[in-house]
Amino acid sequence: SATAIGPRTILTAKHCFTSGGKLVSIDGTKVQQGKLTELATDAVSVEVSGIAFTHIAKIGGRPLQGDRVRWSGSPGGVTDLFRTGYIVRSWTDELMLDAQIFGGDSGAGLFDDEGRLIAVVTAARAMNTVSDNNLYRIQFAVAVPIR
C-alpha cells in the first residue's frame, strides 16, 4: 500500500523494501523505482517513473489522541479495503490506533477527517493481559506521523 504525495512520488513503509523488495507496478502499471528517501522511522518517499499521479495527498497537521482516521489498504492481498479507526495514543514519532491492521496494510496513508495525510501505517502490536485467570489479547495498529 502507498499514497501519492507528488506527480511521481509515493509515500509508503520502509520495511516493504527490506529483504530486497522492489516496486515494479502501481495499479497494474509497470513502473521503475527510483530514489528512496527516509522520512521517519519506517516511512519513505519513493520516486517512480512510468506513471504520473493526478490525485496527490495534502499533508495535514499533527495527529492527536481521539482523532478519527481513515485508510485504504490491502490486508491479506484483498485490495482497496477502506476502514476507519481512532488514535488512542499520540507520540511525536509514533501513533497507536484502535484499528484493524493486517499484513498488506503496511505503507497505507492514514487520513484525518479533512482528508489530509497525517501518517503511514507500519505495524500491528499485541499486548497480553491476565485478569481473574483470564487471558486478554489487545491488538493495536501502529503508524508513523508525517510532517
pLDDT in tens, 13-62: 999 888 777 899 998 999 999 999 999 889 999 999 999 999 999 999 99
Question: 121 near 71, Cβ under 8 Å?
Answer: yes
Residue (of 113, 110, 115, 114) closest to 142 by Cα position: 110
Residue predicted with more confidence, 84 or 103: 84
Give residue 134's pLDDT: 73
Provide the 3-class DSSP secondary structure of residue 19: helix
Query: Band of the pLDDT at 112, cuts 50, 70, 90?
Result: very high
Q: What is the pTM of this model?
A: 0.87
